[in-house]
Structure 1
Amino acid sequence: MNKALETLKERGFFAQCTDEQGLSDLMDKGPVTFYVGCDPTGPSLHIGHMVPFFALRHLRAAGHNGIALIGGGTARIGDPSGKTEMRKMISYEQIDSNVEHIKAQLDRFIGFDGKTALSENNKNWLADLNYIDFLRDIGSCFSVNKMLTFEAYKQRLERGLSFIEFNYQLLQAYDFYCLHQRHNVVLQIGGDDQWGNITAGVDLIRRKLGGTTELNAQHQAYGLTFPLITRSDGKKMGKTEKGAIFLDPALTPVFDFFQYWRNVADPDVEKFFKLFTFLPLDEISSICSGNINEAKERLAYEVTSLIHGKEEADKALAGAKAAFSGEGDKSHMPTAELLKADLENGLGLLNLFTTTKLTASNGDARRLVQQNGAVVNGNVISDVKYTVTSKDLDSDGELVLRAGKKKFCRVVFK
């Protein structure tokens, strides 16, 4: 098997392939051009979106050429795959803004050079389509009966599937067809929930360009999907009680991003190392065979470095050490500023935890205190009526609050 495909399999990036041997043989002959798409339905990608882009980097490192397709056109409709209800429609202006944000995020992670890696926007060929011409030329290649056999549509039929969403598969298939003609793209990669959409594109290229004949072998096309990544508890990877783990630090602060990886379950550590870092497999095995907490810290550092850069990863690591072990640099912990005058009058413990957003409400703070989870500068406070004053400050005149085992906040007074 082709070495690049072997790497994807070894690291967990392999679920289904339309023609594994054919793709392997093609990749052995020289570089192939492939693409992965994402729709800009929000201003930032989250970590779950990144699995195919890690695969893109592996394939690029093996000498192949990758295209990141940002769906400024398809986002106007919304992909029903994996959704229990129709996506909320957003304005074209917001979609265009999201495209620019996501393109910048991907550029930082991939490094678009215009040759071995580049970005495209399907708005360029979808926005001005003539609907009648599209139905005659492309819609005639699709079977409604076959489309309804795909899981994405079968699940939605029970709750209701809008006609606008039903068109999505045609548009994604058309993307593959257009990229094949524009850039000689022969492979689409993506999550396993995209299998129906990907195979529709493979089939469209075959129908329109005759890719199965010896004469038109240059028009062959392939699809490869990755498993949908879940945690060992069965829940969707990249989700917390606060929501998704976003790449944008304004939505998910770097410290919180770091802590997500630092707190993954023990059985997930090696799997996430393989998927979300580029460390060699033998080094991953060595790391994971040692102290599990040190392995988690290394995982958190490696992923944070890849997404946010080494400098931000160093700060997050220093903040985590300060929070958990009293070492490191407190200035890199999540920090809240309060007025000295408030401290002089005394700060109610419940209000303090809510103000610093360690708890969502005073009711949550009350339950935290009653469960002995509220800690002020290392001291467990079990009195819900406790008032924090200057006597509780540490030698730096600050407070370090902890809610449970994983949530911290440094409080400074101005």
Structure 2
Amino acid sequence: MSVLDILKERGFIQQLTHEDEIAELLDKEKITFYIGFDPTADSLHVGHFLGMMVMAHMQQAGHRPVCLIGGATAMIGDPSGKTDMRKMLTREDIEHNGERFKKQMQRFIDFSDDKALMMNNADWLLQLNYVEFIRDIGIHFSVNRMLTAECFKQRMDKGLSFLEFNYMLMQGYDFLELNRRCNCIMQMGGDDQWSNILAGADLIRRKEGKPAYGLTFTLLATSDGRKMGKTEKGALWLDAEKTSPYDFYQYWRNIDDADVEKCLALLTFLPMDEVRRLGALQDKEINTAKKTLAFEVTKLIHGQAEAEKAQQAAEALFGGAGSLENVPTVSIASTLIGTKLLDVLAGTGIVASKSEGRRLIQQGGLYIGDIKVADPDFLLAADLLENNSLLIRKGKKTYHRIIVE
């Protein structure tokens, strides 16, 4: 089975520029392709995960990925969909974030011996003379055609900045530059990048007289169209310091039944026969599939040992087996016994703020073990402790352990 067939069978592919040519190309040759990542944070999040899986499947078939860091974009701050300007990043910030990305990607991608490359578009975009750029590149872009692109149409009502309008030219130039530097002939990205990918492929054909190709993959969304990867704490990060392996495991363990088979296909390397078998399970048996999904995805991101710890913690909390040692844990001083529980929870970060804690209590969602906390002034008493520890539950499934030193 070709890599294109694999990507199709697993549900990745949304659109291709030249399907028959791409099928023959990927089957008979080893190509260089790229996917872009903006380094606006020091960790990748689950929205990047799907692109990393595409890169891994392609590399396993012998093709070479280029992970392009959008250093130039990050230095000016991309305003798309934002009401406030993003934090301006320095080159040092961007280099640091890029190295963090590379470390996370190395679980999937082999960067040894130029089998994969990490490049930064700041290396060429920041050197451009604007007048020369517009004369050389802008002449190949039709404003009328650009305004029909979905990415621009969605912004017309709210206002489209000149910076955003230039973004298509910049991304198209990235593709051209990578084609010249390392013979990159295909750009891949989420389906929201389709117009930009088309523009880049067209620019290469016009400037270089050579074929170039584009492919988009599905965006990671739930069965009812909601963006996947949002938690009560914000994004689902791939960095263990930002999202613990336990919280990461629990996110996948608790996804909707309707999303299990799709996530198994997209986010694990399990054979498709096994994916379909697990996806066909019904009622309570679907929990077996969810446990498999949670373990496999956590293993890919955090490694086998952390996946096993997260699994054991979940079993201890929900199955009556396993070890509580791996449940998210904070320590407090014994001097806090007798103070307000809400102060302790806010001080340890178990709740983001006292006001959030009060809302949780008012909604009946805070428990000590199986005891519901109904009073915002509830005191943390010594007789609540068991083996010098306390198990806090938020809602139905979020647990934290407090240890009194």
* Structure-2-length-normalised TM-score: 0.92
Query: Which ranges of structure 1 fall in alignment gaps of 5 or more residues?
Result: 211-218
Report what 2:400 is aligned to.
Answer: 409
Query: Which ranges of structure 2 fall in alignment gaps of 5 or more residues?
Result: none
8 Å contact from structure 2 (residues 336, 344) kept in 1: no
Alpha carbons of 1:87 and 1:202: their partners in 2 closer, same or farther (altered >3 Å)?
farther
Q: How does 1:154-303 map to 2 (within 5 A)?
A: 154-210=153-209, 219-290=210-281, 291-303=285-297
Report what 2:366 is aligned to.
Answer: 374
Is the aligned partner of 1:328 residue 2:322? Answer: yes
Is the aligned partner of 1:312 residue 2:310? Answer: no
**CA distance in structure 2 between the aligned counterparts of 1:205 and 1:77, rounded to whole angstroms:** 26
1:108 match: secondary structure? coil
Deviation at 1:54, TM superposition (A): 0.5
Deviation at 1:386, TM superposition (A): 3.9
Alpha carbons of 1:243 and 1:261: their partners in 2 closer, same or farther (altered >3 Å)?
same
8 Å contact from structure 1 (residues 18, 223) kept in 2: yes
**CA distance in structure 1 between the aligned counterparts of 2:75 and 2:168, rounded to whole angstroms:** 13
Deviation at 1:223, TM superposition (A): 0.4
Report what 1:390 is aligned to.
Answer: 382
**CA distance in structure 2 between the aligned counterparts of 1:77 and 1:197, rounded to whole angstroms:** 19
**CA distance in structure 1 between the aligned counterparts of 2:363 and 2:160, rounded to whole angstroms:** 46
Report what 2:333 is aligned to.
Answer: 339
**CA distance in structure 2 between the aligned counterparts of 1:364 and 1:119, rounded to whole angstroms:** 41
8 Å contact from structure 1 (residues 401, 411) kept in 2: yes
**CA distance in structure 1 between the aligned counterparts of 2:141 and 2:96, rounded to whole angstroms:** 33
Alpha carbons of 1:160 and 1:128: their partners in 2 closer, same or farther (altered >3 Å)?
same
8 Å contact from structure 1 (residues 56, 66) kept in 2: yes
Letter in 2 for 1:189: M
Give the number of equivalent residue pairs: 401
1:128 match: secondary structure? coil
Alpha carbons of 1:77 and 1:194: their partners in 2 closer, same or farther (altered >3 Å)?
farther
Taking only aligned residues, the RMSD between alpha carbons, in angstroms, comes to: 2.1
Deviation at 1:273, TM superposition (A): 0.8
Alpha carbons of 1:63 and 1:96: their partners in 2 closer, same or farther (altered >3 Å)?
closer
Q: Which of these residues, 345, 349, 354, is aligned with residue 357 of structure 1?
A: 349
Alpha carbons of 1:385 and 1:40: their partners in 2 closer, same or farther (altered >3 Å)?
closer
8 Å contact from structure 1 (residues 351, 362) kept in 2: yes
Query: How high is the sequence identity, in percent, across the aligned residues?
Result: 48
Report what 1:61 is aligned to.
Answer: 60
Q: How does 1:91-130 map to 2 (within 5 A)?
A: 91-93=89-91, 94-130=93-129
Q: How does 1:21-170 map to 2 (within 5 A)?
A: 21-79=20-78, 83=81, 85=83, 87-93=85-91, 94-170=93-169
How far does the alpha carbon of each residue in 1:243-289 deviate from its partner, in whole angstroms, 9 at most, with x for none?
A: 11111222222221111111111111111111111111111122233
Deviation at 1:384, TM superposition (A): 5.0
8 Å contact from structure 1 (residues 74, 171) kept in 2: no
**CA distance in structure 2 between the aligned counterparts of 1:260 and 1:52, rounded to whole angstroms:** 19
* Structure-1-length-normalised TM-score: 0.90
8 Å contact from structure 1 (residues 78, 165) kept in 2: no
Deviation at 1:177, TM superposition (A): 0.9
Report what 1:10 is aligned to.
Answer: 9
Deviation at 1:371, TM superposition (A): 4.6
